[in-house]
């Protein structure tokens, strides 16, 4: 992990303390151990974990002005990305991780316990169900997700969770700007609009990457999100959404 500290500053704009670096080292070891048994992620090499998981997650800090007490919810977190790296980097945030696959949710609980991360909630649930839960609906300052679905689908997962005046953040690959353009109608319907699109460069990664920031401008109509499975089957923009996994944009 000796190269992690100098890489973090240009990617995220922050420097990590030695304690934070040790947390990332421990996170890496736990991920490697669990991945040998449970296949949590297709990214298994140490350098790839540091770049494509840790640094990619920290790149969100280019768009998110985090502060103490901020409520952040990570939808489809998988093995904890980007939420857990953000919590390590900014421990004062209040983090909720949402993951529908039980073994991945269990892994997130184990990591947060091992790293003694406070004010972290892990929900083994569908995003659609969480979005209709009064404990989470329009209660968060930021909702984030990485490569969970096309933006027109993802917006229906994220925006119902965000306070009016808050933001949703989607980490996207080279098609990010095109997805943002195509999703404009769905965003308006859900009470949001694209605030900015920020290109991100990761060391050693040639593919284009973008942070799509969506401002919550109005309350989301109560019928959204629709019941589990409907946003992906019938996206608000029309047409069927292709299957996109967490590993499409590592």
> Phi first, then psi: what are they for 94, rounded to 5°?
-105, 115
Residue 73 lies in a domain: yes
The whole-angstrom separation of Cα 98 and Cα 77 is: 6
The whole-angstrom separation of Cα 186 and Cα 237 is: 6
Residue 92 lies in a domain: yes
Residue 196 lies in a domain: yes
CATH number, domain containing residue 157: 3.40.50.150
pLDDT at site 244 = 33
The whole-angstrom separation of Cα 55 and Cα 115 is: 18
The pLDDT tens digits along the chain (250 residues) read: 445 546 688 888 888 999 999 999 999 999 999 998 888 888 888 888 999 999 999 999 999 888 889 999 999 999 999 999 999 999 999 999 999 999 999 999 999 999 999 999 999 999 999 999 999 999 999 999 997 899 999 999 999 999 999 999 999 999 999 999 999 999 999 999 999 999 999 988 889 999 999 999 999 999 999 999 999 999 997 433 333 333 333 3
Residues in contact with 7: Cβ distance below 8 Å, sequence separation at least 6, in sequence order? 50, 51, 55, 203
Residue 42 lies in a domain: no
pLDDT at site 3 = 55
> What is the CA 52 to chain-centroid distance, rounded?
13
Residue 222 lies in a domain: yes
First to last CA, the chain: 19
HEC per residue, the chain? CCCHHHHHHHHHCCCCCHHHHHHHHHHHHHHHHHHHHHCCCCCCCHHHHHHHHHHHHHHHHHCCCCCCCCEEEEECCCCCCCHHHHHHHCCCCEEEEECCCHHHHHHHHHHHHHCCCCCEEEECCCHHHHHCCCCCCCCEEEEEEECCCCHHHHHHHHHHHEEEEEEEEEEECCCHHHHHHHCHHHHHHHCEEEEEEEEECCCCCCCCEEEEEEEECCCCCCCCCCCCCHHHHCCCCCCCCCCCCHHHCC
* pLDDT one-digit tens code per residue, 47-73: 889 999 999 999 999 998 888 899 999
Q: Which domain holds residue 132?
A: 63-248
Residue 28 lies in a domain: no
- pTM, two decimals, is 0.92
pLDDT at site 44 = 80
For tokens 């500053």, the residue is: 9
For the four alpha carbons of 11, 144, 155 and 51, in that order, the dihedral sign comes to: positive
The whole-angstrom separation of Cα 210 and Cα 59 is: 10
Residue 35 lies in a domain: no
Domain count within the chain: 1
pLDDT at site 6 = 62
Residue 141 lies in a domain: yes
* pLDDT one-digit tens code per residue, 111-156: 999 999 999 999 999 999 999 999 999 999 999 999 789 999 999 9
């Amino acid at each position: 992990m000796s190269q992690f500290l100098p890489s973090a500053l240009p990617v995220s704009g922050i420097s990590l303390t030695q304690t934070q670096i040790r947390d990332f080292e421990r996170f890496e070891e736990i991920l490697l151990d669990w991945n040998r048994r449970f296949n949590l992620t297709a990214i298994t090499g140490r350098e790839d974990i540091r770049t494509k998981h840790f640094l990619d997650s920290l790149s969100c800090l280019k768009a998110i002005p985090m502060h103490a007490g901020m409520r952040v919810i990570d939808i489809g977190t998988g093995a904890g990305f980007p939420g857990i790296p953000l919590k390590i980097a900014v421990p004062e945030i209040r983090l909720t991780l949402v993951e529908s696959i039980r073994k991945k949710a269990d892994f997130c609980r184990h990591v947060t316990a091992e790293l003694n991360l406070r004010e972290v909630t892990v929900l083994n649930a569908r995003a659609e169900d969480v979005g209709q839960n009064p404990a989470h609906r329009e209660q968060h300052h930021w909702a984030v997700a990485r490569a969970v679905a096309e933006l027109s689908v993802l917006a229906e997962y994220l925006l119902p969770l965000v306070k009016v005046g808050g933001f949703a953040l989607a980490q996207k690959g080279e098609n990010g700007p095109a997805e943002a353009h195509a999703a404009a109608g769905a965003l308006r319907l859900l009470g949001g609009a694209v605030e900015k699109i920020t290109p991100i460069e990761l060391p050693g990664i040639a593919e284009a990457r973008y942070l799509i920031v969506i401002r919550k401008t109005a309350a989301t109509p109560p019928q959204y999100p629709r019941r589990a499975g409907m946003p992906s089957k019938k996206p608000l923009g029309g047409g069927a959404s292709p299957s996109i996994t967490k590993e499409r944009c590592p």
